[in-house]
Amino acid sequence: MNEKSVSIAHPKGLYVLFATEMWERFNYYGMRAVLVLFMTKALLFDKVFASNLYGSYTGLVYLTPLLGGYIADRYWGNKKSIIAGGLIMAIGEFILFFCGSLYSSNPELSSWLFFSGLGFMIAGNGFFKPNISSLVGQLYAKGDKRTDSAYTIFYMGINVGGAIGPFVCGLVGDTGNPADFKWAFLAGGIGMIISVITLKLLHDKYVLDPAGKTLGLTPPNVPKKMLQPIFMVLGLLLFSFVTIGLIYADAKVFSYLFYLLIACILFIAFIVFSDKTLDALEKKKIAVIFVVSFFVIFFWSAFEQAGASLTFFAEEQTQRQLGSFLVPASFFQSLNSIFVVALAPLFAWLWLKLGKREPSSPTKMAMGLFLLSIGYLWIAFGVKDVQPGIKVSMIWLTGMYAMHTSGELCLSPIGLSLVNKLAPAKFASLLMAVWFTANAFANKLAGVLSALYPDGKTTYIIGMPINNLYEYFMMFVVMAGIASIILFIISTKLKKMME
């Protein structure tokens, strides 16, 4: 093997993490594809409540990495945290399976099982998600040019799972008979078990740093009681019960999540910036992480309509008949991931090919917001002047997802890589959690914005009426477009702060 091929080839550990994350995303996106449909068709929640609950669930999914990253950094290590989180998520899916089996015969028990299943999914994700993303960057030495490419390949693994999950879960669960939704949850749980087994068998042999040392093991000098199985199991169960309470309270008692997310961001900023061991350059780099994390809120709150309002649109306003086959509405959530799998190698090649002319990470992220805005402009024209009750061609959703995917590839893997490159080693997982907290805020906001879906009625945002789908989609065009322009303007300043 010549020197050039050595420098470009990726370590085998990347593909172990690729497979582990692929099956976890199969589980997550498969379950997400049917979630609002299960809530509205089986549990008979109205769309406003289902949208807000969807936002609370996906928001908390991205918030819990704060705790999972902290515990992994100081006590359990990445490997133990990923496996523990994966098992908790599998239990969550199996609880939802029983919820889907009992919703008609025992609605009260089914409701409790529903919130319990969501709580376990939220808790498990907190330990799984930040730790596996953090491991990808640790496979490479600081300054390795392959890091952006590696995160794009890893992102492709996420989306192989994201493509297969909604397809399989939609095929077995979204059949038109609400009693079949339970099979989607069962399929997701099985995928999660496969993910855990993959990492358990292959981690120690292949997930190595550039010096050949196994990554993600328990940190040195950890008190033994913190690693005792009974202590870990009880801690995970307690955390799961807390997350069940958190999602139930946000949905049924008081919508507190926005306030909690803002408090978390401020708390992390205080912890990091008050650390006296960090020099001025490190603090500038950390400041860039916080700035770009703010802008991704505008991206994900629009992008994550896929699991909420865009699913309602696919179900009710899209002509889905192909011959004798009615395409399940949940299938459309595979489109984004299918486009990622198709386009990710192109983007990975493009960034390497551009070499010194490659745009800075903030500029790429501004491009991502611009493409998202264009995607919503496309579908807005697709529904303009269309009368209520008239269904439109699948080409409008398909084209929109293609443009959204191009935007995502400019923003999400680049952002993950940016956090890894800029974060000091001692705060690696905690600053990765900042990225996910921005995602949490965006996902909660996505639920709130989905609740504005007109659905035959007039809704309002900052006093402005939304009377139809054209006006609804134009709201996202304006929001993402303005954010894109501002990020383009300040990207040069951010680049100087990074160097």
Chain CA centroid to CA 470, Å: 27
CB 321 within 8 A of CB 129: no
Cα 205 from Cα 202, distance rounded (Å): 6
Phi, psi of 461 (to 5 degrees): -130, 125
pLDDT for 298 equals 95
For residue range 429-480, what is the model confidence (pLDDT) as tens digits? 678 778 878 888 999 999 999 999 987 788 888 888 888 899 999 999 999 9
Residue 22 resides in a domain: yes
Residue 4 resides in a domain: no
The residue range of the domain holding 72 is 9-498
The CATH number that applies at residue 69 is 1.20.1250.20
| Count of CB atoms situated within 10 Å of the CB of 98 | 18
Compute the CA torsion angle 194, 122, 91, 227 (nearest 10 deg): 80
Residue 3 resides in a domain: no
**Residue 238's closest CA among 227, 246, 249, 228?**
246
For residue range 36-84, what is the model confidence (pLDDT) as tens digits? 999 999 999 999 999 999 999 999 988 888 788 888 888 898 899 999 9
The percentage of the chain sitting over the pLDDT mark of 90, rounded to a whole number, equals: 52
The DSSP bridge partners found for residue 208 are 214
Is pTM beyond 0.95? Reply is: no
Is it the case that residue 348 has pLDDT exceeding 80?
no
Domains identified in the chain, total number? 1
Residue 2 resides in a domain: no
Is it the case that residue 347 has pLDDT exceeding 70?
yes
Query: Strand pairing of 325-326 and 459-461?
Result: unpaired
